[in-house]
Amino acid sequence: MASSTTPVYGNYHGYYSKRPSVRDPRLSLLPPSFFTGKTVLDIGCNEGWVTCEIAQLWGAARVVGVDVDETLIRGAWRRRRSLWSQQSPERDVIERKADDNSSPVSKRAKLDGDTDSHSYDHFPVSCEHSHEPFPIPTNTSPEGRFPTNVIFRTTDWLAEPVSEEYDIVTAYGLSITKWIHLNCGDDSIKRFFRKVHESLNAGGFLVLEPQSWETYAKARRMDEKLKENAKHLKLHPDDFPAILQDIGFGLPRHLGSVGEGGFRRPVDLYIKL
């Protein structure tokens, strides 16, 4: 789908310029090793900020971000390249170069007091603009290394067949569930959850950022079709935990709420039984 002017799928452009932080606080609700070595599907990834963070900072083996809006997916690829351009050289490169006192890497590392490869924003953003983005390595990186451990696809995820199983499915986003529910109705939301279940390995996790029914009001005002569709909805977000249990998930673990202002939302964790 190309971008439409009304973001009826929640396909907001510039979404991350409105969110207050670069490190997404929703991820900090999860245990530190939650994503380590895991395969992750991020449904409704928008411009891929959370997707890239999971791939770059949380040690995921492989992350796939999907979104229905192709312009946003182009933005997600750009985000990946931009983060890669800012990332510090690998630790072994820094350590090797640190012996050579004339090397700029050594000088910079010493100035920063930082020879740790976790210094991810090593190069300023301006570097990419003044020169060119760093080339993405051609598949020499092992799985689990950013940036080759993350890819993006444009797709209406609900419409495509299940082709791969993951350890973790994230449905962040204020509601990818809300947009699917409003656009396609009660049956579609059940279908969405069933499909998430099918897309997970046994014991896999769904990370869900549920929306309250009240937040549907603003979305309904956005578009006549959504308003009409909303009149026929019998299910409410409060029903989702029961639907998920019927499908084969355990009880939700409420991880808490984070974020500022209108972006303060709860995050729930479900396990596939």
Size of the site for ligand SAM (CB under 6 A): 24
61-100 mask for ligand SAM (x: CB under 6 A)? -----xxxx--x----------------------------
Residue 9 touches ligand SAM, criterion: CB under 6 A: yes
Question: Edge-to-edge strand order for the sheet containing 200-208?
Answer: 150-154, 62-67, 39-43, 166-171, 200-208, 265-271, 253-258
Name which position in 83, 174, 189, 206 contacts ligand SAM (CB under 6 A): 174
Q: By C-beta, is 169 or 180 nearer to ligand SAM? A: 180
Count of residues making up the chain: 273
Residues 149-168 that bind ligand SAM (CB under 6 A): 156-158
Q: How far is CA 180 from CA 9, 11, 87, 143, 159, in A?
A: 7, 12, 35, 32, 11
- Give how far Cα 198 sits from Cα of 42, 66, 178, 233, Å: 15, 17, 20, 24
| Residue 268 makes contact with ligand SAM by CB under 6 A | no
Kindly state whether residue 27 participates in binding ligand SAM, applying the rule CB under 6 A: no
> Nearest approach, Cβ of 7 to ligand SAM (angstroms)?
7
Angle between helix 240-247 and 186-198 (nearest 10): 40
Q: Which is nearer to ligand SAM, 251 or 257 (CB)?
A: 257
81 vs 135: CA distance, rounded Å = 8
CB of 27 to ligand SAM, least distance (A): 10
Binding residues for ligand SAM (CB under 6 A)? 9-12, 15, 43-46, 50, 66-69, 72, 156-158, 172-174, 176, 179-180
